[in-house]
Amino acid sequence: MAEGQELLLRKDLERVVDRLHQERTHVAPYQEDYRRLLDNHGKMIRAAMVVLFARAGARNGGRLDDTVITGAAAIEMLHLATLVHDDVLDNAPIRRNKPTVHTIRGNKAAIYLGDLILSRYMEIMASIAPDTAFIREQAGTVCEIVGGELYQESDRHHTHITIDDYDRAISGKTAALFRLACLTGIRLDGQPTDPALEQTARDFGGNLGMAFQIIDDINDFDLDRDTGKPKLEDIRDGIYTLPVLLGFQEDEDFRTLVQQDDPDRVIDYLKAHPQLMEGSRQTAKDYLQRAADSLKDSPMNKDVRSLLQRITVKLTAQI
């Protein structure tokens, strides 16, 4: 039953948190900053994907092997490292309503801490890798994440970028990690990988990740929603996300308005053209629907399937 799976997931994630705390000695001299990051963690959706996909194969229900928990912790560490660096690059003062590492300790410490966490992620994955293909998949995904960030950087302040350009950036910087989390689960489940289940992991993770970033980007314009982060950061940084790109498609004059670098005027425009936010919400919902569809004919455990389906339904309701 999906409720039973939910309880298992909660217990698995408690083990992941314990495993993350064991890493504190490895990030000296930034143990306190690392602890602060862990104390302020979110729902750990990426780690959840690792454990759920590890339970998606035939053998499941019992206690998950330590290797899976360690892999889930490492995926969460990769995510943490990217966020610590991202907050430096974006000059973000707060995350989840708490000051970011660089705000408290300066850029140098934030870069070193991100580097240390990233290095430990690599060391851990190398120590549990079932084969070299696993390492290649992990390393290749880190390249994709950096590549996505670099696409975004090279597109900054360009009002002629297209939705394809945006998709390329977010597919790298965000969706690649969600896809990797799902794949890591099935690689570490102790069974030979079923190609059909691997395809599900790719499709589910990739589509969920796209939806996640689009929702994050929509929320940056939603002044009424508490996201624990500053608002209008993307537009201030010249990062044109889906609502803005949909506007460019509809109205040449909107490009000129955006080039004036006045976030308040952009917000006024989006308020006057609600179809842009609505269209973006619909796109996120479409990705979530695609994620849910990928589960349908998959040879996966039915309780895991229904929990994953419930996650997509819950996220859709929150958009």
Q: Which does 305 bind (CB under 5 to 8 A by kind): ligand FPP, Mg ion, none?
A: none
Residue 174 interacts with ligand FPP (CB under 6 A)?
yes
Among 65, 86, 198, 251, binds Mg ion (CB under 5 A): 86
SS3 of residue 223 by DSSP:
coil
Give the span between the Cα atoms of 267 and 283, in whole angstroms: 20
What are residue 99's DSSP bridge partners? 94
Among 90, 144, 220, 234, binds Mg ion (CB under 5 A): 90
**223 neighbors 177 (Cβ within 8 angstroms):** no
Provide the token pair at 79.
């995510």
Residue 243 interacts with ligand FPP (CB under 6 A)?
no
SS3 of residue 94 by DSSP:
strand
Residue with tokens 């998606």: 56
CB of 116 to ligand FPP, least distance (A): 10
Span from 41-49, 84-92, 241-249, 311-319 in contact with Mg ion (CB under 5 A):
84-92
CB of 174 to ligand FPP, least distance (A): 4
Residue 277 interacts with ligand FPP (CB under 6 A)?
no
Give the span between the Cα atoms of 118 and 80, in whole angstroms: 8
Of 134, 169, 118, the residue nearest 50 (C-alpha): 134
Give the span between the Cα atoms of 249 and 95, in whole angstroms: 32
How are beta strands 98-99 and 94-95 bridged, if at all? antiparallel
What are residue 94's DSSP bridge partners? 99
Among 13, 81, 181, 183, binds ligand FPP (CB under 6 A): 81
Residue 215 interacts with ligand FPP (CB under 6 A)?
no
CB of 8 to ligand FPP, least distance (A): 28
Residues 131-160 that bind ligand FPP (CB under 6 A): 142, 145-146, 149
Span from 45-53, 63-71, 77-85, 195-203 in contact with ligand FPP (CB under 6 A):
77-85
Site of interaction with ligand FPP (CB under 6 A)? 81-82, 85-86, 89-90, 92, 114, 118, 142, 145-146, 149, 173-174, 216, 229
